[in-house]
Every structure is written in structure tokens, then in C-alpha cells.
Structure 1
Amino acid sequence: MPGIIGKKVGMTSVYDENGKNVACTLIQAGPCVVTQVKTEDTDGYKAIQVAFGEKKEKNTSKAMLGHFKKADIAPKRKLVEFRDFEGEFALGDTLTIEKIFEVGEFVDVVGTSKGKGFQGVVKRHGFGGVGQSTHGQHNRQRHPGAIGACSYPSRVFKGLRMAGRTGNERVKVDNLRVLKIYPEQNLIVVSGAVPGAKNSYVIIEK
């Protein structure tokens, strides 16, 4: 499963071949550098580690400086492993979007969703509130209402939907179509929305 690391630029829209306006996301993907090649003999599994994004040496630990020195590259900010890849890769190889993806194919995008902080049940789980007269409350809008039964089971079941921290979670969106690729600018345009805020790191997988 080859892939590449990118940074979300923002959303826009393009017209497809049928003249339909399609919402899409613009991602600056790569170039990424192979910083480690893992094999079954040395590590117990087969994978490649790729890096993306510049980082100052003063903000990099000595252990990571030595790690990047093996690949003869400057320190990088984001490291990701990819397993089940096709082809042979060597330490220091550069991965670009035109080598991995083609226009028209479908990709999966992984990112960290926007953090919303502590939210109530209406925003977090879509509870109806007083208007729909659900969950036990009768005069308090946006409240959770009753949360458990009586003498049996005499407890609240695990996983009950309640207020709490919302967002800031790893989210994977499947089957986004590659609409356009701009190799000169290292830009890729995929259909639909991608998790995360602008300038956040995302992982694009086949």
C-alpha cells in the first residue's frame, strides 16, 4: 500500500468532464524522502519510512539527527511508515505524486479532525433536544435527559452517548477520486472533504 505525506491547502471546486461542479480539496503532497527501509530479517516486517516537511536542526534531537544523517538528508518534521508496498526502495529515494498516483484513481486520506473542545450531546451526537421530546427531559433544551434505568440494571451502560471532548481524532476517508495532479507544484486535487484544518498533515494512500 504505497502512499505519500502531504499538507492540506484548502478546499475549492472544479468542473468534471460532464460539466458538474465538484467540491474538492487541494493537498500539497511531497516530495517525500525514504528515511528507512525495514525488512523481515532486521525488523520482523517489511515497510518503508518516509519523511516530509522541513525542520530546524536545533529543534531536532540528536537521535533523530543521526537517523536523518544515515539517509543523508536534512531533518524532517513528519515521519510515516507504509507497508505492503510494491517495488524496491532504497535509503534516500524521493517519492513524488506523479510516481504513485494517477488521475481518475481512488485514494484514501488520513488526517486529524478539527478539535471542537468539550461539547454537549446536541452538537456531539445530534440529540434532538426539547423539540423532539426525546431522552427524558421536558423543559431543558439541549440537555441529555435520563441516562439509565431503574432497579435493573442499576447502572449506566458503557458507551452511553454523553457530553465530552469532540474532534481531534484520527479520521480516514475512503475512496476519494484524484481529479487533477500538478507535478511542478507538488499539488494533488481530490474530490470531497479531507479531515483536518488548513496546513495540517495528511496521509494519502492507495
Structure 2
Amino acid sequence: MSKILLSAFNSGKHFLLNSKILSENNKVINGINLIQIRTHLPLRIRYPFWFLQKERATYYENLTKKNREFLQDVIEETFGPAITLHGIPTHDVKSPLLSQPFVRGKWNIKSQRCGLIGRKIGIYPMWTKTGERIVTTLIQIVDNHVIKYIPPEEFDPIRKPYNNIGSKKKLGCLLVGAESTDPQKFTKEYCGLFFKQGLMPKNKLGRFLISPEAVIQPGTPLYVNHFRVGQYVDVRGQTIQRGFQGVMKRWGFHGMPATHGVTKTHRRPGCIGMGRDKSVQPGKKMPGHVGYRYRMARGLKVLRINTKYNVMYVTGRAIPGDTGSIVYIYDTNVTHKLLNHHNPPVFPTFYPEDLEEPLPEDQFTPELFNFSDPSIMYEVPVAPKKKK
């Protein structure tokens, strides 16, 4: 894909459309300098209904060292001192309840809970007690807080969340933020989303549809123990962007022969239509953009949870996205892996103040082998008694 950068020097106007330059070809037409820049561009961004202008214009403010220290002191007085919680730099925020706390609902088999925002940090092999090797993906829950709740009667997005228009299932919306960052980087409007909850501005936001009984008070922190070991989850992420690719890489075509009369069609798709209509049929596999799409990996089992660093280990290595990318985790919708009365979840979420005893640092499923346990059990042989 390509994009053109125009710079009109005679009128004093400069049009800057892209800054990532891969190749340049300069031409002068009618006194206007044309600079052609070829680059791989992302797809068009579709903003959500709650989108606000996020990042403000950055410019050099010539602040002295004392001024910068003063701004940091104001941030710490407002949001608490800087700490490292669960391996993530954040602030010691104690969000006040500006309204009456929400009444905790009771879970039923049709309830829909909130999800979490995590970061994919790599893959790791694990072994069962029978010696079977399982490859898992590590997802770290990065400083999640509930930002806002929109009840079902007020939630009316432009894109409807249901495939069935006549669905009677009324769902509300819970806005969750992740990764607290410096408020100086964002606009006043964006920071206003977090002002009432007393939270620092979040770098990432996510929308989760929930049933009314699963509502969580805004300002509540969310932990990895929102999910349980042995539970199945769905993970949604953005695939790696590959740019514009041909049919061999995009669809796995074999390609034409290298010899025997084949001329310059080695990686071509070949015939793309037939019949009298002389048109390309819908759905024909053609060259195009690869990646940069949201995809869902369904029915992944949570094999291990680390409560110290807020990390969960889920089965498989094919979670969408590159290492370090943001993913969204939900309760699974796979029919035979749904939550039931035999393994109910923590509802509406995990609250540390409800614990009677502290949780262990690592939690494993029963079939996994824990390397801190002894692997070989043997008895010391007893010497036989000598006969007199």
C-alpha cells in the first residue's frame, strides 16, 4: 500500500500524512514537490462510542528541574505514592465510594460476568503427572480497575452486540481500564473519565457486556483470581500485521511450476473467474491485507495462576497477537465448557477482604505436576536380621 506526501513550497503549505518512510521518489510538477512514500499502513480505526481524544499535543515546555519535581509531588499527593504492585509500576490508589456501594448479586447459570485486560508475555511448557508436555501462554493482568457502569436501559451502542435483533437478554456495559500512566500525557477530557473514581488515567480501556446482577462498583481493582484454576476462558486479541500479501502467503497456494513453459506466473493466483458473466465471484481468494484483525481463541483452560505477579497460564500457543500485546479475557461461551453449579465462579469478582487465609503464590490444576513436589518416592531398605 502506498501513501503520498505533498509539500507545496510556493504557497507555504505543508501536508504531512505519514512519517514512516520506506522509500522515496521525488518529482517536481508545476512547482510542487511531490514526495511519494510507500509503506504498510494499518487498517481504518473504528472508534468505540465512548471514545474521547486521548493524547494531547506534546511540546517542549522548558520546565526547570524544580518545576518537574513539583509536578511529580502533585501527582503523588493526588493519586498516592508510586509503588510496584504485582510486578507493575502503579500508584497506591484508594478509590473513594462517591455513592452507595452496589449490592452484590447472586450468580446463576445464565449470568454474564465482567472480563479482564491482560498482556501476553510469552509461552512456557508444563508437564502433567503422567509426563505429557503441554505448551501454555502466560497472560499478566495489568493493573485493572473498573471505571464506569452503564445500565441496560442507558446502554445503546451504534453497533448492536447481538446477532439476533429480537433477543430479550438485557445487558449492561462495564468500562475497565488497565495500566495507570502519567496524567500529563492525556487530554483534560480523557482524564475526566477517571476523576470521579479517584483513579489515575489508564493507558488501555475495554468494554465488557455484563448481566445486571454482575455489576461491580466503579473504582474496584480486578485481580487474576477473578478466574479460577481449571476454568475455561476465551481470549481476544489483535493478530500480527503482515501488510499486503499475495495468495501464496495469505491463502497457502502452491504456486505455478518453475519451468515447462511457465512465464512470470510463479506466484500468481491463476484463473480468478469463469462463465459467461465474466466477473469475480464473492469470496474468491485474492491478494490483500493480512493481519491486524481482532480474533478470538475459545475454550482455553486455565492451568496455573500466580497470585504474586497476577499471571495466568492458559493452554495453547496460538493466542492472537505478538508478545507484549494487549488481550481481553472472558468466560468461555463454548457449550460443553460453560460454568455450572459444580464449579461456580467468584461472583461478581474476587475481593481480597473476603479471604480468611492468604492465597498460595501458585495454584495448579490437579493433573499438573508441581516441580516443588518430590518426583520419586522410595523407601530406605531395611537390613535383614542375622540369624544366631
Does the TM-score normalized on the shorter chain lie above 0.5? yes
1:156 Cα shift? 1.1
Q: Which residue of 1 aligns with 2:282?
A: 158
CA contact (8 A) 1:31 1:97 kept: no
The alignment status of 1:22 with 2:134, answered yes or no, reads: yes
Which of 113, 118, 130 is 2:244 aligned to? Answer: 118
Q: Which residue of 2 aligns with 1:10?
A: 122
Which of 201, 205, 210 is 1:75 aligned to? Answer: 201
Q: For the residues of structure 2 that align with 1:123 and 1:144, how far apart are their CA atoms?
A: 11
1:41 Cα shift? 4.0
Partner of 1:124, secondary structure, is helix
Q: For the residues of structure 2 that align with 1:108 and 1:144, how far apart are their CA atoms?
A: 35
> Structure 1 counterpart of 2:128, which letter?
D
Identity of aligned residues (%): 32
Q: For the residues of structure 2 that align with 1:160 and 1:59, how far apart are their CA atoms?
A: 45
Q: For the residues of structure 1 that align with 2:301 and 2:217, how far apart are their CA atoms?
A: 29
CA contact (8 A) 2:138 2:311 kept: yes
CA contact (8 A) 2:120 2:327 kept: yes
Is the deviation greater in 183-192 or in 56-65?
A: 56-65
> Structure 1 counterpart of 2:172, which letter?
K
Partner of 2:253, secondary structure, is coil
Q: Which residue of 2 aligns with 1:107?
A: 233
> Structure 2 counterpart of 1:189, which letter?
Y
Q: Which residue of 2 aligns with 1:145?
A: 270
1:64 Cα shift? 1.2
Q: For the residues of structure 1 that align with 2:322 and 2:296, how far apart are their CA atoms?
A: 14
1:5 Cα shift? 0.3
Larger RCO (CA within 8 A; separation ≥ 6): 1
Which of 30, 51, 59 is 2:185 aligned to? Answer: 59
Deviation string, structure 1 residues 100-125 (Cα, Å, up to 9, x no partner): 21111110000000011111101100
The alignment status of 1:173 with 2:297, answered yes or no, reads: yes
Q: For the residues of structure 1 that align with 2:277 and 2:315, how far apart are their CA atoms?
A: 47
The alignment status of 1:183 with 2:295, answered yes or no, reads: no
Deviation string, structure 1 residues 160-184 (Cα, Å, up to 9, x no partner): 1111111111010000110100011
The alignment status of 1:90 with 2:214, answered yes or no, reads: no
- TM-score for both structures, normalised by structure 1: 0.90
Q: Which has the higher strand share?
A: 1
Q: For the residues of structure 1 that align with 2:320 and 2:155, how far apart are their CA atoms?
A: 32
Q: For the residues of structure 2 that align with 1:202 and 1:70, how far apart are their CA atoms?
A: 27
Partner of 2:254, secondary structure, is coil
1:19 Cα shift? 2.0
Aligned length: 199
Q: For the residues of structure 1 that align with 2:143 and 2:128, how far apart are their CA atoms?
A: 27
Which of 176, 181, 184 is 1:50 aligned to? Answer: 176
CA contact (8 A) 2:143 2:180 kept: no
- Pair member with larger Rg: 2
CA contact (8 A) 1:31 1:186 kept: no
> Structure 1 counterpart of 2:243, which letter?
G
CA contact (8 A) 2:155 2:173 kept: no
CA contact (8 A) 1:117 1:165 kept: yes
The alignment status of 1:33 with 2:142, answered yes or no, reads: no
CA contact (8 A) 1:30 1:95 kept: no
CA contact (8 A) 1:120 1:163 kept: yes
> Structure 2 counterpart of 1:148, which letter?
G
1:31 Cα shift? 3.4
Q: For the residues of structure 2 that align with 1:116 and 1:15, how far apart are their CA atoms?
A: 33
Q: For the residues of structure 2 that align with 1:192 and 1:123, how far apart are their CA atoms?
A: 23
> Structure 2 counterpart of 1:142, which letter?
R
Q: For the residues of structure 2 that align with 1:77 and 1:96, how far apart are their CA atoms?
A: 17
Q: For the residues of structure 1 that align with 2:151 and 2:191, how far apart are their CA atoms?
A: 22
CA contact (8 A) 2:176 2:205 kept: yes
Q: For the residues of structure 1 that align with 2:274 and 2:214, how far apart are their CA atoms?
A: 58
